[in-house]
């Protein structure tokens, strides 16, 4: 059987973390290999990018950047039904991200006003996987919240196919989403190029988008040089919680849906029905044998596929919270009633008619989700990942006089006399004048 059996019945909640297998990616992060790639691109720029693309993708690249005409031609050349679907998806993703909470109002206390300023980053780097499959949907998911945030420039990196080109569908999505620049590079070298800049690619402020473990590890290593959301957006994951009422074929196909993304992922069935576990495992076997992506499925399920038996719904959700999966599907009767038990998941899909594939494309929320247990502290990609928050403080002379003793006391306690003096001098030496409703100091003699 492709799904490894795991019986957790009777295991107490506080022992689940030790009993649940860790994601395979945690055991073999390519830290040294990714570090060497980042260093090569930082030192050699485009030459390193071309060399690494030749080595990893088997493609000899000329121009790294895809011409604007090719991108727009892609939008016109795809089937009308696909173009319509991409446009509908993009509109829905935009609408969802525009619905995210607005900035908080100004804060005023004892004469001090603090304004909340929200500023979009100037330039964002987007990453969409390629090679094994094409992902126009990921282009939409990365670009939409960036557009809503007001990012000035969007640069997209996609691994080239064997012919050195990017899939027409992916380029069409870039045109629909208003991406400014597209580059035919992938892997850790793409992350390095976006972070450090090369002769062709200008450095960005933020990098977003899912990828394999090399891409995810590269983003982790450049975090701090550029902004990287805290989620480890790596190989795909799903936990399907099912009971005796769940159609076997539905549970099986939903396991296969995420497993077909390729190796290093995770696909679990969690159930308290031994009969269902056996039936789903057999159905998964049949789907894999007949799939055109059989190799990818076998690689994923061989290392990260499990059929887990538990005592009941409470333990099932406790297991799910321990795994903290990217996608959590609750396909049971009364799925809504189990939602309060969910603590750690990238996205939750409730009931038999809510497969994760709807969330991958059209539900509206982002499909760039936390993996490798980072859903314990991280969330889906959102508008705020492309923004900074700045606070602007203003106060008048009266308010400063009231606060002065407190500022001085703390400054002196910390041994920072200039901090205290900066408040004292304003009180002692600067009368104020009122102009356009603002109090401003009168310059001292000799300072005019």
Active site residues: 326-327
Instruction: State how far the Cα of 296 lies from the Cα of 302, in Å rounded to an integer.
Output: 10
What is the token pair recorded at 113? 């006003």
Q: Provide long-range contacts, Cβ within 8 A and 24+ apart, for 387-390.
A: 387/118, 387/119, 387/120, 387/121, 387/149, 388/118, 388/119, 388/121, 389/103, 389/116, 389/117, 389/118, 389/119, 390/116, 390/117, 390/118, 390/119
Helix axes 274-289, 294-304, angle to 10 degrees: 150
Q: Provide long-range contacts, Cβ within 8 A and 24+ apart, for 8-15.
A: 8/308, 8/309, 8/310, 8/315, 8/319, 9/272, 9/309, 9/310, 9/311, 9/315, 10/311, 11/315, 13/315, 13/318
Q: Is 370 exposed, middle or buried (0-12, 13-18, 19+ CB in 10 A)?
A: buried
Instruction: State how far the Cα of 155 lies from the Cα of 201, in Å rounded to an integer.
Output: 9
Instruction: State how far the Cα of 425 lies from the Cα of 319, in Å rounded to an integer.
Output: 61
Rg from Cα positions in the chain = 26
Looking at the chain, how many residues does it have? 448
């Amino acid at each position: 059987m492709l799904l490894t059996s795991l019986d957790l019945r009777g295991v107490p909640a506080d022992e689940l973390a030790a009993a649940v297998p860790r994601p395979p990616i945690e055991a073999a992060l390519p830290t040294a290999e990714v570090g060497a790639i980042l260093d090569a691109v930082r030192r050699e720029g485009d030459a390193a990018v071309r060399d690494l693309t030749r080595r990893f993708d088997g493609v000899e690249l000329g121009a790294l950047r895809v011409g604007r005409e090719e991108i727009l031609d892609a939008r016109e050349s795809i089937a009308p039904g696909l173009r319509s679907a991409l446009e509908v998806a993009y509109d829905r993703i935009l609408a969802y991200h525009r619905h995210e909470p607005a900035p908080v109002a100004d804060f005023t206390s004892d004469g001090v006003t603090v304004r909340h300023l929200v500023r979009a980053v100037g330039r964002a780097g987007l990453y969409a996987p390629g090679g094994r499959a094409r992902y126009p949907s990921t282009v939409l998911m990365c670009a939409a919240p960036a557009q809503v945030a007001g990012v000035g420039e969007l640069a997209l990196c996609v691994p080239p196919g064997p012919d050195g080109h990017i899939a027409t569908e992916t380029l069409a999505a870039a045109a629909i989403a208003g991406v400014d620049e597209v580059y035919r590079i992938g892997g850790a070298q793409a992350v390095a190029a976006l972070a450090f800049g090369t002769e062709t690619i200008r450095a960005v402020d933020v990098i977003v988008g899912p990828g394999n473990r090399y891409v995810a590890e590269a983003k982790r290593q450049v975090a701090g040089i550029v902004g990287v959301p805290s989620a480890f957006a790596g190989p795909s994951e799903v936990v399907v919680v099912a009971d005796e009422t769940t159609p076997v074929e539905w549970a099986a196909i939903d396991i296969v849906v995420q497993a077909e993304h390729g190796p290093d992922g995770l696909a679990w069935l969690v159930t308290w029905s031994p009969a269902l576990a056996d039936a789903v495992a057999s159905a998964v076997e049949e789907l894999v044998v007949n799939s055109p992506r059989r190799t990818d499925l076998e690689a994923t399920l061989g290392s990260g596929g499990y059929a887990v038996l538990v005592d009941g719904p409470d333990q099932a959700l406790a297991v799910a919270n321990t795994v903290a999966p990217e996608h959590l599907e609750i396909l049971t009767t009364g799925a809504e009633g189990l939602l309060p038990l969910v603590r750690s998941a990238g996205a939750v899909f409730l009931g038999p008619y809510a497969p994760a594939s709807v969330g991958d494309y059209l539900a509206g929320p982002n499909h760039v989700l936390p993996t490798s247990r980072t859903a314990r502290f991280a969330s889906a990609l959102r508008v705020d990942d492309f923004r900074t928050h700045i606070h602007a403080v203003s106060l008048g002379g009266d308010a400063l006089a009231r606060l002065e003793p407190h500022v001085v006391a703390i400054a002196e306690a910390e041994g920072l006399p200039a901090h205290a003096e900066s408040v004292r001098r304003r009180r002692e030496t600067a009368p104020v004048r009122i102009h356009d409703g603002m109090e401003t100091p009168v310059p001292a003699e000799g300072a005019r």
